[in-house]
Amino acid sequence: MPAGRPPHRGNLGGGESRGPGRGGPRSGSPGGNKSGGQGFSPPRPQSNSPSRPPYSASPGNGPTFRARPVAGGHAQDKSLSRRRGPHINPEVVFEDADVLVIAKPAGLLSASPEPGDIETPSAFLFAKQHVKSHAKRGRSRPRVWIIHRLDRESSGLMVFAKSEPAFEHLKEELRSRRMHRIYRAVVAGGFEDDRSADEQARSPFAGTIKSYVRERYDKSMECVSADDVRLGDAKEAITHFKLEHQARGLSMLRVRLESGRKHQIRVQLASIGHPVAGDRVYGGEDHPDPCRRLALHACELGFTHPKTGESLRFQHEPPYSFFKAMGLRKDDLDETELGVTNQPADAVDDQTDSSWDHVADWYDSLLDQRGSDHHQRVIVPGSLRLLNPKADQRVLDVACGQGVLAAGLLHRGASVVGLDLSPRLIDAAHKHLQGAPGQAEFIVMDARELGQHTEQLGGEGSFDSASLVMAAMNIDPIEPVFTGVRTLLRAQGRFVLVMLHPAFRAPQQSGWHWEEDESGSEKCVRTMSGYLSTFRSSIVMNPGQAAHGRRAVTTWTYHRPLQAYTAALGSAGFAIERIEEWTSQRASEPGRRAAEENRVRREIPLFMAIRAVAMPTHSPAS
């Protein structure tokens, strides 16, 4: 669905709205069910042989370093032992001229809360003293920059920068969510699996927790509803998890951070009823403590090297107590990557229903009675060109709305299955395409639950192509949609997405303004105040009418940067084949500014289209 204004002539943005044809409610309750983690082969921590060198590279996009304790050398730096506090030193995992990677033990602060504190032991203090003690004489004073933090009670990998360019690079990797961070956690309770045996065998239970978190008066964190009116100080937090094993009333999870908020993993897992074992803040008085510490360990860390551009990934095993608590040996688990699959309904905190059913009549009227030049002249022709459907091919139209794209597909001889969460828009699709040539079926279904309806829709690989047009921005989370589409597509099947351009048309983060150049001529300029951060916005679809007293028609839209879509497609098993940027075909009414308006309208794209193909062998990326 569109995220923006309804189209009208003279709107320079070209109507940043969903325009005709794309389906109704973009989402509903999240897909998937709680599951018990049976019939899968989860990750196996690699045991380290004493004969293995400290850093061993593995094939892939870049080296993977598996750390082991080093006898002597940097890892035995005693610089903190003379300071007050516990006698626990970090382990140096990797170091070069630009970066330092260490493994922080539990109980050690990441950094002292007091600037300039050189007495309280911390990982940051250790890093500074370590770099200073190993600096060559005659060089300028060595410096260290902290990039991220771990909770004092947790353990695992941290990276520090040793130069200002490295600091800027790594902070940007973290801010833009490109830094790879995986944790292992032992949590209270087990997960029930309601999926079929075949689905359990295909993939372990996994899910996503998405909520807003904020700091309480006592410095602890709390999850709040996305609809909470006091969201001013709350920040979005996204955590992905995969179940590896469960026994003895405990579960071992492999957790991937997408955002990086204070206590994020701990507060979000507690919010779904599975606090981290040993968590005295969020676990309550009666929670289990089998490891006699917080059972949370940062076991993987990956980033692009700031100087060489090489992709580096480091691994560090959790303490043996994690496995012992589960009744496991370290080699009882298979080493795999974390890939987010089906999303359990109870794993998402206070997810908003972004359904378009409440605006279905208005939207159908907009497209049916007034039409949309965007759809007629840009969106539908472009989508059909990228899909290139053939006669007798089967096409899945996700978030089909009232069937505007489906009409074009049927005209080309394809058979269509259209899905939308809005019953009223599905009714409209039946009405508009009644008597149309070809075979069409329209079903009320949440796009995020495609994985639960594979057999109902024809089974794995039963579609030749699929579309998601002007709807991706109105669905959250998007990952289960892509995974479900991939399951239903045959190998090399095409998947076409069309959306408002995420870089130039971010709702409430972009706009037009006029300014004079040096010659005094007026220039129209597109401005952006945000792009990389994800956020949710309430959009008034009929601002002109609402301003004159008509009832405002509002929907939710979710902004994501392009890299979020490419990462989700790759994780689902797609390869991106083509990206196109489409401009508005409107023209301004004659006037003093018309020529400039038309120039920028042709220069700044309104839509982005992505064509991806289903890879023959689907192996979710981490």
Give catalytic residues, as residue numbers: 151
Compute the C-alpha angle 41/47/49, nearest 5°: 150
CA neighbor of 529 nearest in space, from 540, 537, 518:
537
Q: What is the 3-state secondary structure (H, E, C) of 231-290?
A: HHHCEEEEEEEEEEEEECCEEEEEEEECCCCCCHHHHHHHHCCCCECCCCCCCCCCCCCC
What radius of gyration do the chain's Cα atoms show?
Answer: 27
Q: Indicate the residue type of 248.
A: R
Do residues 444 and 423 touch, judged by C-beta distance below 8 A?
A: yes
Alpha helices, DSSP H, located in 186-227: 197-202
- Token pair 């978190």 in the structure block, residue: 213
Q: Indicate the residue type of 221.
A: M
Do residues 479 and 568 touch, judged by C-beta distance below 8 A?
A: yes
Burial 501-523, CB ≥16 within 10 A → b, else e: bbbbbbbeebeeeeeeeeeeeee
Rounded to 10 degrees, what is the CA torsion of 202, 488, 417, 365?
Answer: 90
3-state secondary structure of 503: coil
Do residues 3 and 498 touch, judged by C-beta distance below 8 A?
A: no
CA neighbor of 559 nearest in space, from 542, 541, 538, 540:
538
Do residues 171 and 242 touch, judged by C-beta distance below 8 A?
A: no
3-state secondary structure of 419: strand
Helix H or strand E segment including 65:
strand 64-66
CA neighbor of 558 nearest in space, from 610, 506, 498:
506
DSSP letters for 7-27: P-TT-TT---S--TT--S---
Q: Do you know the residue count of the chain?
A: 622
Give the integer Cα–Cα distance in Å for 558 and 501: 13
Do residues 305 and 98 touch, judged by C-beta distance below 8 A?
A: yes
Q: Indicate the residue type of 452.
A: Q
Alpha helices, DSSP H, located in 355-470: 360-365, 373-374, 380-387, 404-411, 423-432
- Going by C-beta distance under 8 Å and a sequence separation of 6 or more, which residues neighbour residue 569? 482, 495, 576, 610, 612
Do residues 299 and 182 touch, judged by C-beta distance below 8 A?
A: yes
Give the integer Cα–Cα distance in Å for 523 and 211: 41
- Token pair 């969510």 in the structure block, residue: 177
Rounded to a whole number of angstroms, the distance between the first and last alpha carbons of the chain is 29
